[in-house]
Amino acid sequence: MTNILVTGAGGQLGTQLTRRAADGLPVRGLTSADLDITDPDAVRDAVEPGAVVLNCAAYTAVDAAETDEAAATAGNVTGPRILAEATARAGARLVHVSTDYVFAGDASAPYDVDAPTGPRTVYGRTKLAGERAVLAADPSAVVVRTAWVYTGTGSDFVATMLRLERDRDTVDVVDDQVGSPTYAGDLADALLELATRPRVRGRVLHATNAGRASWFDLARAVFAGVGADPDRVRPCTTDRFPRPAPRPAYSVLSPASWAAAGLTPLRPWTAALDVALAELPPAYG
């Protein structure tokens, strides 16, 4: 049975991976406090021969990265490269999680894996550089791009909408940014399936829940999902909420590469959201 190492196990995706792997897969989760992926000696000691490393460790503060490029580079380029060097040396397999931010966000049809990249933020540029560093250091590695990941807890978008539903009469949400909302639990299941498919190597894949929505659409679905009036969510444009890092206007990723690899397609985002909301502790719902 394949040993699976999850790095960045304290984040929303890493937590879902270690939770879901309790069904028999031997998974070891290491948080960023347990393992600094920029430390070559520590990484070398952590990566066992024949293991599958699911790298969820990353610098994800999109806005802060605009003024802290060194930290973003360390977390998104240097660390993944060190991991890839270690997996190549040990004969292990690396699955590295990346993002829709590697694209410019100006498309009108779902991005295929070979679509031209063109990140417009420091975060996106470092994630793209990280992809390239991983595949250069370990040509058998797999890069999995995803988008709009949530659990409904903490400070993610769905959790924020749940809080605002309780606190405000109405909420203004942008309707000119489109993507594929992705439940971290479904993404975790998809990555665990990939971990058990040793023949899937040396490629880039896209994995998101199926379908597309604007943030406005997602917010309305969250309100409806907890029995609130979705008309309390009002549409607005991105310029109402200026941010240091521009958000992609279009982030829909094509599922074609995932299906071509023989992997199970992720369900529609609406169905995934229903499950995510049903699984929340009472305090969140």
Q: Enumerate the domain spans of the chain.
A: 4-151+182-210+251-267
Residue 262 CA to residue 247 CA, distance in Å, equals 32
Question: Which among 17, 7, 65 has a CA at the least distance from the CA of 188?
Answer: 17
Question: Which among 139, 129, 159, 144 has a CA at the least distance from the CA of 195?
Answer: 144
Q: Pick the catalytic residue: 59, 101, 111, 123?
A: 123
Q: pLDDT per residue over 193-211, tens digit each? A: 999 999 999 999 999 999 9
Give the DSSP H/E element, type plus range, for residue 232. none
Residue 26, pLDDT score: 83
Residue 4 CA to residue 27 CA, distance in Å, equals 5
User: Which class would CATH give 4-151+182-210+251-267?
Assistant: alpha beta
Parallel, antiparallel or unpaired: strands 178-179 and 213-214? antiparallel
Can you tell me the mean pLDDT for 146-164?
97
127 phi and psi, to 5 degrees? -65, -40
Residue 20, pLDDT score: 82
At residue 282 the predicted structure's pLDDT band, cuts being 50, 70 and 90, is: confident
Residue 23, pLDDT score: 63
123 is catalytic: yes
Can you tell me the mean pLDDT for 220-233?
98
Look over the chain and give the mean of its residue pLDDT values, rounded to a whole number.
Answer: 96
What is the gyration radius of the CA atoms in the chain, in angstroms? Answer: 18
Q: pLDDT per residue over 8-51, tens digit each? A: 999 999 999 998 876 677 889 999 999 999 999 999 999 999 99
Residue pointed to by tokens 């993404």: 187
- Give the dihedral of Cα atoms 84, 86, 88, 93; nearest 10 deg: -70
**Taking 90 as the threshold, does the pLDDT of residue 226 lie above it?**
yes
Asked whether 171 and 219 are in contact (CB, 8 A), the reply is yes
